[in-house]
Every structure is written in C-alpha cells, then in structure tokens.
Structure 1
C-alpha cells in the first residue's frame, strides 16, 4: 500500500533489531538474540506460567505450543507458525526477538517477577498489554532509528518519530520531534514533544502536514 519497494526505502523490523534496505535487503544494522537466549527466556516463561514465542531468522514464528496470542500474532501479520521445542534450538541460532505472551493480568505479574539480571541482559518492552518483548540489549527503536539516521547522514534534530506504546519510548526520546498518538498510553504521552490525533483519525498524516509539508 505504501509502495515502499526501492533500495532508497528502509525497514526497521523486530523493534529495530534489524535495519535494512527493502529492495536489496542490505543490512544496515543487526543486533539480535541467540538460541541460548531463547531457551533461557522460555524456561523462565514456563516457570512463571506464561506462553512464549520467538522469531527465528530461518524458521519464522516459532512456539512450543499453540496459544491464543501466538495465533493472533500470526493472523494479523499473515505468518505461519512452526511448533518447536525451544530446547532443541542451537545455542548460536539467530533469533530476532523473543516474546512472552498471555492475558494482561498474568503478563503484568510475570513482568514484575523477572529476575533483575534479565533487565541487564535484554531490552524488555511491552508493546501491548499481552506482549512483552525481549531483544538484544543494544536493540530498541531508538538505537535503530539512530543507526539509520547516522547511515543517511541525518541529525537527530531532523528526525520525527511517532508512537503509541512502551516499545516506542526510546525512539520518541531520541527524535528531535517525538510524537505520541492521542490513543497512546499516558506514560508515552508524558515523554513526547507533541501529541497528535489518533491512529484512526490520520494522526500521522496530520504531523506530516504540520511539520513537513507546511513547515515554515
């Protein structure tokens, strides 16, 4: 729909763990996890009584067992699911990110019970009330946007980032203009320079018109 198919277009995926050109898939930056990380997180998820899935570079969306939230992730992103015992992963297998998922109440409790070491070893962000994401400690949307900006020779003051959830905080704080959507969580709005309309009311388009197309 966006017609972003040329080598002048870039994509930041897996919460910006991977930054690459779209057409050639040339990698600008890759900070990802390993199979050893996935096994460690999956063991903790089992101990805490919540579900887990991950994104493998070679196998796509993997999970030990079907669950509502993994099936939801697969449906909205049009992905197939591979059932896989995480203990069979090679320690050096390339894992883009790992997510523990469950009903919001259970996930919040699990989040609070994570060992302190996990917060040192991983970037941990909540992208939805039922999604808690684990990435390489050097990966988040802020460092990803910075990597692309540096690659293109763009200063942070020239960057606009817009978001509505916890996994957007790093890039909102990095950007010269950090924007929160009207439907964003209150903690996201608190760190933004500007609050636009909701996703459904073309909030992104309004920012583009105000600060780019009609900028003085």
Structure 2
C-alpha cells in the first residue's frame, strides 16, 4: 500500500471520534504513543474542524506539539510561535451571504472569525432540535461566544471567516441546504457528523492543508499519515501518504483509506502507530 516503504515523519490526527474517546478524553495508551513519536522527531499535528482555542487544553499543552491544522484546513499554524503558515478563508462578503442563505432553512448556524466562534443564545437553548449529539453539546457551549446576531457580529468585524457551520434536526432540510450551497460553486462543504454542514473556502480541506504543511517542513506527501472518522476527513484519507480510518468511521472514509484500525474507544490511533510507525 502507498506509504508503506516511506518513513512517516508527520502524523495528522482528527480529534473528535478519532484521537479522543467518546468521553472526549485522551487515553493513556494514545498519550504514550504520541509522546514516543515526539521523542523520535515525528511531527504530531492536531487536524481538526475546531478553532485552536476550542481544542482541549490537554492537547494544546501537549509537549512537542508545534503545528496544528484547524477549521478543516482553513488555517495551518505554528502554535508555539503563534504564526500563521497558511490560510484559506471565506471573505466577509461570502460569510454574510451564507449566513443570509441560512434563513431559508430550519437550521442553527455559527461563524468562526479571527480564531473565535460566534453563536446566538436562541440556538444554545435548544441544541437537541438541531441534531447535535449529546457528546458534542458541552463542547459547543464551552467554545462559542454568545452574540445577539451572528451576521451583525461578522459585519462589524469585517474580517475573513475561517468556517461557518449549519446544524439540522432533519436530514431532508440538510440536503436542501447542501444543494443550495453547492450551487454557489465557491465553497467547500463537508460534515463531521450526520446532521451538520461545514462551509469553508475553496482549498480549505484537511488533505490540502497536510500537503501545505509538509511542503513547509520540507517533507514529501508520502511521509505523512492521517487518522480520521468523519466526512471532513475524506480528503485526508485520499491525500496523506497513509490514510487510516477508525473502526467507528463512516463507510465512505473506510473505503477511501489505506487501513482501517480499531475504534476511538479501543485506542485505534495507538495500535496503528505502534505497528506501522514505531514498529513495535
């Protein structure tokens, strides 16, 4: 399989449903394996749909993590130096148009701008009705800044947006919105779970971001490995030197990967790195 003969020097890790277990925790085994990777000079790179400030503190403060790919690849950052290496953002105009479009559907929406996530109180009161899993609700409440009107906040900031989210309680409504967004032709649409849509600028994918970071570090794409479970990890499965799907991953992700490992609750990340990278 591709990447088998190449020494892996960069490991990109989705967080929710992949590196973290169902309780959003980092297991002792996964932690120990990542520590060994760092010790061997392998770049350990969180690769997430979250903003960096929304990443759990135990990941942000993990010794040896220097680079991160956030908001689905919109931002590639040296998080130790607080330096943006690469970014692919929606213009303020695009963001406002997409927020206006949301009013055509029964959807909750939020916006990520300048490293912050903005949401409205009316949505926070009723997350269940927008199809948000109970395991994610605490994280969403903890990472959103509440504003009276998201669109007005974006307008006031007048800055590019890293990402916008739509959340749905109904799959048919989600499909209608997806078709409307696709008709624009100027955005990338993905999902991290069944009833959401994540809207990014063209070029803002996890797979593209891995290539850009590898190039910055003087690495070949074949020297990269990516782990994921959801729709926003699809490009990572296809573009990383070795794509590894979790046992709990969506079927599309498994089919696009080179390997399928154990689930996120069974230390699938550690198991694969031990066998393929650390050769234990």
Name the TM tier (shorter chain): 0.7 to 0.9
Q: 1:135 aligns with which of 200, 216, 221?
A: 200
1:187 paired residue among 252, 260, 268: 252
Of residues 62, 67, 82 in structure 1, which corresponds to 2:146? 82
Shift of 1:104: 4.6
- Matching residue of 1:19: 76
Following the alignment from structure 1 to structure 2, what is the Cα–Cα distance between the partners of residues 80 and 112?
23
Instruction: Assess if the C-alpha contact under 8 Å between 2:243 and 2:258 holds in 1.
Output: yes
- Separation of aligned partners in 2, 1:168 and 1:194: 14
Stretches of 4+ aligned residues off by more than 6 angstroms = none
CA contact (8 A) 1:35 1:90 kept: no
Listed as ranges, the matches of 1:50-65 within 5 Å are 50-57=107-114, 60-65=116-121
TM, length-normalised to structure 1:
0.87
**Contact kept in structure 1, 2:114 and 2:162, CA below 8 Å:** yes
The unaligned stretches of length 5 or more in structure 2 are 1-57
1:44 partnered with 2:133: no
> What SS does the aligned partner of 2:98 have?
helix
User: Does residue 1:66 correspond to 2:131, yes or no?
Assistant: no
C-alpha distance 201-116 of structure 1, shift in aligned 2 (>3 A): closer
CA distance in 2 between counterparts of 1:130 and 1:76 reads: 17
Compared CA separation, residues 127 and 107, structure 1 to 2 (3 A): farther
Deviations 1:11-63, CA, capped at 9 Å, x for gaps: 111112111111111111011113212211111111122221111216x2223
1:97 aligns with 2:163: yes
**Residue number in structure 2 paired with 1:108:** 174
Counterpart check, 1:153 vs 2:218: yes
Instruction: Kindly report the root-mean-square deviation, in angstroms, between the aligned alpha carbons of the 2 structures.
Output: 2.4
TM-score relative to the length of structure 2: 0.69
Higher relative contact order (CA 8 A, sep 6+): 2
Relative distance call for 1:115 and 1:161 in structure 2 (3 A) is closer
CA distance in 2: counterparts of 1:46 and 1:23, whole angstroms = 39
Between the two proteins, the alignment pairs up a number of residues equal to 212
Contact 1:74–1:81 (Cα < 8 Å) also in 2: no
Deviates more, 1:41-50 or 1:199-208: 41-50
Return the offset for 1:74: 6.8
**Greater mean alpha carbon deviation, residues 168-177 or residues 65-74:** 65-74
Relative to structure 2, which stretch is displaced further, 17-26 or 196-205? 17-26
Contact 2:181 2:187 in 1 (8 A): no
SS in 1 for 2:72: coil
Contact in 1 for aligned 2:182/2:189 (Cα 8 Å): no
